[in-house]
Amino acid sequence: HARADIRGDIVFGRDGYLFAAWEDVRRLNPQRMRLVLQLVAQVAQIMRDAGIQMAVPLIPTKARILADMLPPDFQPAPAVQRRYEDSMQELRRAGAIVPDCAAVLARLRTSQPEAVFFKADSHWTATGAEAAAQDMARAIQAAVQLPPSRHPGVRLGNAITVTHSGDLVALLPEPERPRFPPERFRVRPAVAASRRAGLLDEDGADIAVIGN
């Protein structure tokens, strides 16, 4: 059969989907994976010793959720297919709260028309991110007894449609880029109960979101 179309850092999938070649799902580096999991588990232990519960949003790769859009010879190896569940269980054994984001996104993809990952971008859409955030909130509520909120807090408003140019498109040769125009997607902007409108504005919140 035809070989996968891979040019530089880009894997050309079906129906206009692009994938990052550095997320090579055909092979697994178990040593590197073990080191990363050990490091995160150590952080979870340090946090737990300080009386802080850690929750980890373990985000699956786009290639896992959209494997049917990958070229036939760029499919996940069996060890890679087990990687997400193995990582989730390892971090849970370390005491972290780790909801199954992969299952959430897989269900979401088949239950509604909105895309969960951009076609020409390595990131998930607002629809995928919001669904994962809601699942994380449910997991935290089930595991940790929190006091009632002292403030009305920030809510998400009505959805608006915006356009987004995929980050993988920028890695293509200039003549190829017009084949992948900006994508339209829906996002619900933050609506503050006060004049502040940031999702992370409440300094006294019992849950802190930490990341890059």
SS3 154: coil
SS3 171: helix
SS3 6: strand
Instruction: Give pLDDT, residue 1.
Output: 45
What is each CA distance from 197 to 70, 157, 160, 189, 202, in whole angstroms? Answer: 39, 11, 16, 9, 10
Give dist(CA 153, CA 151) in Å, integer. Answer: 5
- Residues 6 or more apart from 169 whose CB is under 8 A from it? 18, 120, 121, 177, 180
**What is the 3-state composition of the chain as percent helix, strand, coil, each rounded to the nearest 5?**
40, 15, 50
Comparing CA positions, the residue from 54, 60, 18 lying closest to residue 169 is: 18
- Could you tell me what percent of the chain has a pLDDT over 90? 73
Whole-model pTM: value is: 0.86
pLDDT classification of 194: cutoffs 50, 70, 90: low
* Tens digit of each residue's pLDDT (9 = 90 or more) over 21-71: 998 899 999 999 999 999 999 999 999 999 999 999 999 999 999 999 999
- Residue 197: CB atoms within 10 A of its CB come to 13
Asked if the model's pLDDT at residue 158 lies above 80, the reply is: yes
pLDDT classification of 209: cutoffs 50, 70, 90: confident
Give dist(CA 137, CA 129) in Å, integer. Answer: 12
Give dist(CA 158, CA 180) in Å, integer. Answer: 28
Instruction: Give pLDDT, residue 58.
Output: 94
Instruction: Give pLDDT, residue 192.
Output: 67
What are the tokens at 94? 């370390």
pLDDT classification of 196: cutoffs 50, 70, 90: low
Contact present, 53 and 92 (Cβ < 8 Å): no
